[in-house]
Amino acid sequence: MVRSEARTRKSEETRERLLDAAAKVFRDKGYAGARLCDIAERAGMHTPGVYYYFPSKEELVEEVLRVGVARTRGYVQERVAGLAESASALDRLRAAIEGHVLMVLEIGDYTSANIRIFGQVPDDVRARHLGDQRAYGGVWRALLEDARAGGEIRSDLDLGVIRMLILGALNWTAEWYRPGPQTATEVAREATAMICDGLGVR
């Protein structure tokens, strides 16, 4: 018998609830520190229920990582693509910075989970995930190279290092930002200001 439509939809919703819960708990407790029972409870089920959807903790975290980069990359690319045709390469870079920050601080539990646990995950999981990670890095590489090709950024910089410094500044916001004094958008604006124009007076 073909599985009924409503049936499979409900199952997918549960799976998603589980993934959402996993993203939150992994982000808050780290990989080893996250207990399957915390995740299950947050998703409204008992621990072994997780195993109906995922064969192990490793595969669960792997899926969280996968969704994390995919969404981040999608959102950032979308924001960049939404710019007017007349936008400069530096404007596109600014849009990417803003998109990434918003993803980390407001929209993406998966994004912040990814950032915080990537370095803690078992080696084989990390190895399998590296491809996705690199693909997202490629988006940034292209943005920077376009800007340099157009003469919009200085020619004396190592763009490989610069890319990681930028992503570092943005990723680290996951460690300290708490809503309150500043909004995520304000943080993004400070970041574009510092990165594109520097601290020094002009």
Partner DNA sequence: AGCGGATTTTAATTCGTGTTAAAAAGGGTC
Partner DNA sequence: GACCCTTTTTAACACGAATTAAAATCCGCT
- Helices 123-149 and 159-171: angle between axes, nearest 10 degrees: 120
8 versus 185: smaller Cβ distance to DNA: 8
d(CA 18, CA 24): 10
Of the candidates 149, 122, 139, the one whose C-alpha atom is nearest the C-alpha of residue 65 is 122
46 versus 134: smaller Cβ distance to DNA: 46
150 touches which of its own copies, DNA, none (CB within 5 to 8 A by kind)? none
Told to check if 130 binds its own copies by CB under 8 A, we report no
Told to check if 178 binds its own copies by CB under 8 A, we report no
Q: Considering only residues 84 through 123, tell me which ones interact with its own copies, judged by CB under 8 A.
A: 90, 93, 116, 118-120
107: number of Cβ within 10 Å: 15
d(CA 19, CA 15): 6
Told to check if 153 binds its own copies by CB under 8 A, we report yes
Task: Give the H or E element holding residue 65.
Answer: helix 57-81
28 versus 41: smaller Cβ distance to its own copies: 28
Q: How far is the CB of 8 from its own copies (least distance, A)?
A: 36
Tell me which amino acid residue 177 is: Y
177: number of Cβ within 10 Å: 18
d(CA 101, CA 173): 8
Q: Considering only residues 40 through 99, tell me which ones interact with DNA, judged by CB under 7 A.
A: 45-49, 51-53, 55-58
Told to check if 147 binds its own copies by CB under 8 A, we report yes
164 touches which of DNA, its own copies, none (CB within 5 to 8 A by kind)? its own copies
Of the candidates 11, 118, 21, the one whose C-alpha atom is nearest the C-alpha of residue 36 is 21
- Sort 80 into a burial class: Cβ within 10 Å, 0-12 / 13-18 / 19+: buried
Distance of alpha carbon 176 from the chain centroid: 16
88 touches which of DNA, its own copies, none (CB within 5 to 8 A by kind)? none
53 versus 136: smaller Cβ distance to DNA: 53
Q: Return the range that interacts with DNA (CB under 7 A); candidates 31-39, 66-74, 91-99, 124-132.
A: 31-39
Name the residues that contact its own copies, by CB under 8 A. 29-33, 90, 93, 116, 118-120, 147, 151-154, 156-158, 160-162, 164-173, 175-177, 181-182, 186-187, 190-191, 193-202
